[in-house]
Amino acid sequence: MACDNYICPFFELGAKNGSLAAPELHCMIGDVAQEITFKKGDTLFLQGQSSRFLYALSDGMVKICCHTNDGREQIVGLSSPGSLLVGLQSIGEEHHAYSATAVTEVHACKISHRLLLARVHAASSLGMRLIASLNAQLAHSRALMQVMGNKCAAAKIASFILLMNREPQHSHSHFTLPFSRLEIASLLGLGEETVCRAMANMKRMGIIYAPRGNIEIRDWNRLRAIADGGAIRREVA
């Protein structure tokens, strides 16, 4: 199957006459993968649901949530094309330990656990690609844990904004923040009012501009300084 998802762990480069062709990609498991689209708010799978599929993201973002006994939702992770596979942690389990919901429109390939594991047994190179993907997810989880660690509220929020858009293309960067203030508060263990106040202060300082769910980072250096917990944090704490 031809594919243009360059960051999927299952693509391989096409080759002609022993040399790499111009970026012509082919999926190593194309016959067991189904392309699928989720609208914002759609559920990929629910906590407690039978664990049968995982999803290789090509575009969009998914939030990973656990639900408490009293019905409250706690965001425990995020998954985007950079962290590759949603549901990989449950590949050896009978049921999903968490729920996955699209927070933007999501394009992905739906892959059967059973068929993928059969391919891994037949081709060890696929197993190595799964390990690499799991390592990428662990790195992303570690970054999120650092955001949620022992920092003041402003440092947590600044770190979260940087995690959502870590590679500036130019001095200013515009991107959509696909979370409400309440969801950010839930993820970071803060109050909604605290998140609103800290972001309003950063806006007032000219560090960010945040109209209607969009973010424009206007001062990367000061935002990083706040995220690092430097002296500037007292301005927005």
| Helix axes 220-227 and 153-164, enclosed angle (nearest 10) | 130
Question: In angstroms, how far apart are the furthest CA atoms of the chain?
Answer: 62
What mean pLDDT value characterizes the chain?
A: 78
In CATH terms, 153-235 corresponds, of 2.60.15.10, 1.10.1060.10, 1.20.120.1080, 1.10.10.10, to 1.10.10.10
Q: Look up tokens 């263990």; give the residue.
A: 189
- How far is C-alpha 137 from the chain's CA centre? 9
What distances in angstroms separate CA 93 from CA 45, 48, 49, one per listed residue? 14, 11, 11
Residues linked to residue 66 through DSSP beta bridges, in sequence order? 74
Q: Give pTM, 2 decimals.
A: 0.70
- pLDDT tens digit string along 48-107? 888 888 888 888 888 888 877 777 777 777 776 655 678 877 777 788 888 999 988 999
> What pLDDT, on a 0 to 100 scale, did the predictor assign at position 45?
92
Query: Range(s) for CATH 2.60.120.10 in the chain?
Result: 30-147
Distance CA 113, CA 87 (A): 9
pLDDT digits (tens, 9 = 90+) for 14-63: 334 433 344 445 677 767 788 899 999 999 999 888 888 888 888 888 88
> Which CATH architecture does the domain made up of 30-147 adopt?
Sandwich (2.60)
Rounded to whole angstroms, the Cα distance separating 16 from 10 reads 19
* Count helices and strands in the chain by DSSP H and E runs: 6, 14
Residue intervals of the chain classified under CATH 1.10.10.10 are 153-235
CA distance linking residue 120 with residue 91, whole number of Å = 12
What proportions of the chain, in percent to the nearest 5, are helix, strand and coil? 40, 30, 30
